Structure formats: C-alpha cells, structure tokens
Amino acid sequence: MNKTDLIDAIAAELSISKVEAKKAVEVFFSTIEKGLKEGKKVSIVGFGSWSVAEKEARDARNPRTGAVIKVPAKKAVKFKAGAELAEAVNK
C-alpha cells in the first residue's frame, strides 16, 4: 500500500472526499515528522512508536575496490511495532 492507496482507503471508510483524506494523512505524517525533528519519541498505543537514533561516524569498505570510506554520523528513524499490530500481522 502506498500513500495514494491509504488516502483512497480512508476516504472510502469515512465517506469523505479524497481531498479531505489527503489533508488528514499529510497532517498526520507532518506531525510525526515535527515530533521526531524536535527529538521526541512518537508513540501510538497499540500501533507502534517512532524514535530517532544517533549513528556514529564509522569507516566502511567499498566491496568492489576494498577502499576505506568514511561514513559520516547521522540520525536515523526507528520504528517499533506495538504488541497489537504485531499480533494482527501474525494472525
């Protein structure tokens, strides 16, 4: 399922226009993004939680040439599924 499919499903389920569903989806995503940018953990009970992890700078190797490459430090988004979501997927 992609973003368009999600918008279509929400519009159909709630009997609202696709424009309204698109606004709702975009607000949802931007709110999660804003929280993560502020360094907050975003949790939705039963669904899951997003957090930001700090990745340290490291050395890596180019598998083709064997040359050492410097990988800079960065932040990565982590998602952990909640118990109810994990259970639903495994049924």
The CA-to-CA distance between both ends of the chain, in Å, stands at: 19
Question: What is the rounded distance in angstroms from the CA atom of residue 51 to the CA atom of residue 35?
Answer: 9
Structure tokens at 38: 């502020």
Per-residue confidence in pLDDT tens, the chain, 91 aa? 999 999 999 999 999 999 999 999 999 999 999 999 999 999 999 999 999 999 999 999 999 999 999 999 999 999 999 999 999 999 8
- Residues 9/12/17/22 CA torsion (nearest 10 deg): -10
Phi, psi (degrees; rounded to nearest 5) at 46: 90, -20
Answer for the pair 52, 16: CB distance below 8 angstroms, yes or no.
no
